Structure 1
Amino acid sequence: MEIRQRVLGFITARFPLAELTGSEDIFSLGFVNSLFAMELVMFVEKEFGITVPNEALRIDNFRTADSIAALVQRQLSVTA
């Protein structure tokens, strides 16, 4: 839950009027462009101390805060 909240905090810091839940698709809602997508990847790597491997750089892994949290948890378990 904490990972999801930190991701939502990052997104809403950039889009203060957004009221998002963990399961809402930030791409279909129009919050993500190519620049923000890269910022999101960099945030995830820095915030959680992980490296997102090239094969994980798929839209489905970044579509929702829940999917980002799942990606982070998988990568944390790999590095543990």
Structure 2
Amino acid sequence: MDIRKTIVAYIEDVSREKGFDQSCNLFEAGLLTSLDVLSLVAFLEEAFALEISGDDVDMDHFGTIDGLVSLVAQKQTVAA
């Protein structure tokens, strides 16, 4: 499963924005709201079979696609 494609598809579905600039801040661009974070955490945990702690939920990880991809990759490496 391609981490980036999976995350982008989820955000496109939630935000109803197709083809958004993947380098943008997801919150500043209005693609995600603070209310979307909980569903995003649940989605990531289920889609990638990993556990995300409260400490992981910060703007470094959740602010951009790159941050989310990095977080999932890091969690998968630790779990392996």
TM-score of the aligned structures, taking structure 1 as reference length: 0.87
Stretches of 4+ moved more than 4 A in 1?
none
Q: Residue 61 of structure 1 contacts residue 67 of structure 1 at CA under 8 Å; is this kept in 2?
A: yes
Q: Give yes or no for contact 2:45–2:51 (8 Å, CA) kept in 1.
A: yes
Q: CA RMSD in A?
A: 1.7
Output the amino acid matched with 1:78: V
Retained in 1: the 8 A contact 2:15–2:32?
Answer: no
| Alignment match, 1:22 | 22
Alignment length (residue pairs): 80
**Range that drifts further, 56-65 or 4-13:** 56-65
Asked whether the equivalents of residues 17 and 31 of structure 2 are also in contact (C-alpha less than 8 Å), the reply is: no
**Cα distance, 1:54 vs structure 2:** 2.2
Rounded Cα–Cα distance in structure 2 between residues aligned with 1:11 and 1:21: 12
Aligned position for 2:64: 64
Query: Counterparts in 2 of 1:33-72, with a 5 A limit?
Result: 33-72=33-72
Deviations 1:12-65 (A, max 9, x none): 012233422432211110122222111111111111000012221112201111
- Can you give the 5+ residue segments of structure 1 that lack an aligned partner in the other structure? none
